[in-house]
Each structure stands twice: as structure tokens, then as C-alpha cells.
Amino acid sequence: MIRKLKMGMIGGGKNAFIGAVHRIAANIDGLVELHCGAFSSNSAVSKESGKDLFLNEEKCYNSYEEMIVAESKLPLLERMDFVTIVTPNFAHFKPAMMALDHGFHVVIDKPITLSLDEAKQLQQKVQETGLLLCLTHTYSGYPMVKQARKMVSDDKLGNIRKIMVEYNQGWLSSSFESEGNKQALWRTDPALSGISGCMGDIGTHAAQLAEYISGLKITQLCADINIVVDGRQLDDDGNVLLKFDNGANGILVATQIAAGEENNLNIKIYGEKGGLEWHQMEPNSLIIKWTDAPMQIYRTGNDYLSDEAKANSRIPSGHPEGYLEAFANIYRNFALTLSALLEGNEPSATMLDFPTVKDGVRGMAFIESVIASGQSDQKWFDFKI
């Protein structure tokens, strides 16, 4: 890279959780700098948030529309290179489309939009413009997830037969939204979150992780979707049977009412020769089980790992690498890809290893298929895009 990339941010102002995570992740490798922002729909809050981040006042915009138009009029080396969208779901589509229309690459939180139709429109816009869109499915950034994916693609486990993935949280086991909690309020409001709560918020992570590691695609599903907490408008719990394009079957569990759970994302994949399992709350370890050999535990930072795992590790073995580093891997790969393109070079396969608009479309198809299945007596629904 010949220079740092300039990032504009939409959302992520004072008291916002995910905006700070994005800024930390973007900054870890020193490839990206925060250049400007429209940090809130409230212009005063946006200005105050930018001041707290030591931005010049003229780079703290009143709205994302103002920011995108103003930045697009600047010379190439003086304007933002890409925009990061860290707003609730309802405010993803319009700023992403506007940014692409004005020539800016996009990083966006999942789920990508409010509907599958919007996701398809974004995909079409990305294809038309030739610009990059990166979707922050954080968990695909962990080194041991990369190791698991490589082992499956190298046929170490043989033909994949079964996939079990669960994402258990307990933070919404009571009516947190009625107490005015900001994060709970928008996630449980259909106008802000879309047609799904739990499955949109964390079920999409579980589905993406299953497809990412296995290299398979979900083709059918059968869902049991529940609203457990009285008065809640959107699902807070669900169980989904899955079928994959190679004939494998699977189970996906996502819940936010498992009292006492923190952020317990786990995946197990079984093939003809053996199986693997990975736990997000113990992310440095990958467990491999064989039919004809003792169980093995692979650990982050060791020389015996795949090139893919090592390329997404930063520190020696025994030093924990977690959520922020995994998030940063997505930003780094995106930034290296964008820099290569800006310099007229071809990005490597390692650089291109980040979720894209295609993952976003599949995520919205998952949400809509799961909710349709959960509301129907029909046993199996085709996974339609």
C-alpha cells in the first residue's frame, strides 16, 4: 500500500456499540484512517461525536446525504475512499445505494438490508459499478475458522454429512426493550429490524458460518420460530433443520432467551473420515476428531497451520486473539483488496477472503425463508434467492 485508506462512517456516534468496534478493527493494522462521518441522524449528536473522535469540524457532517455529496466533489486523494455503514438494519439500503451511485466502496453491517428485494438491488448496483461491498460477518475472520475451512476444502474430513451450528445468547431473556435499552429497542422493532429479530441478528451469522466453513450451500430448511417473551413483536428463539447441496443435513439453533448465556456460538461439522468443532468463546482452539486416530487440538499461531490461518493471525501462540482481531481481519483483507485495485494490481485470493454482497443476499434469503417456514405448516421450504 502506498497510503492509508480514508474511511467515512455513517452511524456509530455517542453511545453506539458497533461503531466503536468498527473503528478499532479498521485501525488495528494501520491501513485505514477515519476521515469523516455522519455519526447520527441528529446533526448535533453527529457533530459532538466527531469532535470526540478528534475530527476537524468540516468533516463532521449533518447527514449521510450531505457527506456523500460533499466528499464526491473533492479530488480523489482528498476524499474518503469508502464508507462504513453501522446503523440499524432499516438504515442500510439507502446510504449504501447512494454511496455506490457516487463512486464509493462500501462496508456494511449484517443483515445487509431489510428485505431480499433490497439486497438484490444492492447486488445489481455493485455489479453495475464494479465497486466493492464488504459485509462484516465477523466470525468468518477468526484464524481457526480459516483453518477449519481449509481442512474441509482439502477433503481432510471426506464428504461432509452433517453440520450442527448453534448461537446461544441470554441478554433478551426478559423484556429489556421495555426498560429503554437502545440495543434491545431497535432489534425488537419490526420497523427498524425487519421481519426477524433473533434469526436476523444472530441466526444469519450461524448460517453464514456453516456455509463458509463447509463450502456448501443451504438448499432447503424447516423452521420452528418462537416469540418467548410476552409482548415482544419479533422472534427471540428458533430451531431450523437444514439440507445442503451435497445431500448433507444440518441443525441450526439461534436463541436470545437462553438465560445465563453470553455469546455462545459453536459449530460442529462431520464428514466420512472425521469431524471438527469450533467454539467462539474459546476461539484459539480447533478440535479435530478422527475415526481411526486420537483427537487433535489445533491452536492459533503455530507453524503447522494452513497458510490461510497464518495469514489471519498476528501474534505467537498462547496469546489470545479474539473478536476485535477477527473483525480486523475482515477490514484488513478488504483494505488490501481495495488498495490493490486502486494501484492497478490484481488482489490475491487471501486479500479477497471477506464476505461480500453475495453473502448479504444469501443472508436475506435465509431470513425470509426461515420466517416463511416458521409461519407455515409446510414441512420443507426451498431456499430461494
Three-class secondary structure assignment of 77-102:
CCCCCEEEEECCHHHCHHHHHHHHHC
- For residue 321, being part of any structural domain is answered with no
pLDDT at 242: 98
- For residue 222, being part of any structural domain is answered with yes
> What number of CA atoms fall less than 13 Å from residue 48's CA on the CB side?
9
C-alpha torsion 47→48→54→57, nearest 10: 30
Together in a domain, 125 and 264: no
Together in a domain, 159 and 299: yes
Number of domains in the chain: 2
Together in a domain, 171 and 147: yes
Identify the CATH number of the domain in which residue 348 sits.
3.40.50.720
Together in a domain, 188 and 96: no
pLDDT at 384: 87
pLDDT at 70: 98
Its domain, for residue 195, covers: 142-315+362-382
Together in a domain, 130 and 227: no
Q: How far apart are CA 274 and CA 225, in angstroms?
A: 31
CA angle at residue 198 from 192 to 202, to 5 degrees? 105
> Whose CA is closest to 270, among 247, 245, 286, 288?
288
The residue written with cell numbers 464428504 in the block is 159
Together in a domain, 83 and 110: yes
- For residue 208, being part of any structural domain is answered with yes
pLDDT in tens, the chain (385 residues): 789 999 999 999 988 889 999 999 999 999 999 999 999 999 999 999 999 999 999 999 999 999 999 999 999 999 999 999 999 999 999 999 999 999 999 999 999 999 999 999 999 999 999 999 999 999 999 999 999 999 999 999 999 999 999 999 999 999 999 999 999 999 999 999 999 999 999 999 999 999 999 999 999 999 999 999 999 999 999 999 999 999 999 999 999 999 999 999 999 999 999 999 999 999 999 999 999 999 999 999 999 999 999 999 999 999 989 999 999 999 999 999 999 999 999 999 999 999 999 999 999 999 999 999 999 999 999 998 8
Together in a domain, 150 and 189: yes
Together in a domain, 208 and 251: yes
Together in a domain, 347 and 253: no
pLDDT at 300: 97
Would the pTM of this model clear 0.95, i.e. be above it?
yes
Together in a domain, 130 and 146: no
- For residue 132, being part of any structural domain is answered with yes
Together in a domain, 296 and 240: yes
- For residue 280, being part of any structural domain is answered with yes
- For residue 322, being part of any structural domain is answered with no
Together in a domain, 169 and 297: yes
